Structure 1
Amino acid sequence: MRWSELLTHADSGRLSHTKLWANIASASSTGMFIYQGIHDTLTSETWLIYLGLVGGYAAALRLIAAWRSRPRPQDPPTT
């Protein structure tokens, strides 16, 4: 994987604002998570929120990708 794939659309190669801001949000929340862990201010609530948001975002992306790739009822089966 190239670093540019984190910020560009797979088909066109153009900047994807969705990918850009999602990765900025994930990076900044990871930075704060690490910062709080180093300074012993990390709480169980922060753990739950962080893991829920970062893990939930990844799970939602996979769910959407799977939903988009499933065959539609009106499409004929491929053989």
Structure 2
Amino acid sequence: MRLADLISNPDTGRMSHTKLWANVACATATGMFVYQGVKDTLTTDTWLIYLGLVGGYAAALRLIAAWRIAGRSKASHADKGAGDA
């Protein structure tokens, strides 16, 4: 994986503002999480918020990708079925 893949649209290769700012937000949250861990100020609330947001974001991306694949698969089957008639 290239570093540019973190901020570019895989279909067009152009910069994606959505990917850019999502990765900036995750990197910032991770930096603060690590900083608080090093300074021994990390709380349970911070753990829950960080893991919920960063982990939830990653899970949401995978869910959306799965829905898109399922949608394409259904559309493909519908097109094949329409051609049979």
Given the two structures, how large is their TM-score scaled by the length of structure 2?
0.85
> Which residue identity is paired with 2:5?
E
Equivalent residue, structure 2, for 1:63: 63
- CA deviations 1:8-65 (Å, max 9, x no partner) are 1101110000100000000000000001001111000100000010000000000000
> Which residue identity is paired with 1:49?
I
Equivalent residue, structure 2, for 1:72: 74
Equivalent residue, structure 2, for 1:41: 41
> Which residue identity is paired with 1:4?
A
> Which residue identity is paired with 2:47?
W
Runs of 4 or more above 3 Å deviation: none
Given the two structures, how large is their TM-score scaled by the length of structure 1?
0.91
State how far apart, in whole Å, the 2-side matches of 1:28 and 1:12 are. Answer: 27
Equivalent residue, structure 2, for 1:25: 25
Cα RMSD, aligned residues only: 1.8
1:75 aligned counterpart, secondary structure: helix
Unaligned runs of 5+ in 1: none
Q: Which moved more, 1:68-77 or 1:53-62?
A: 68-77
State how far apart, in whole Å, the 2-side matches of 1:75 and 1:63 are. Answer: 22
Unaligned runs of 5+ in 2: none
Equivalent residue, structure 2, for 1:50: 50
| Same amino acid, percent of matched pairs | 64
Greater helix share, structure number? 2
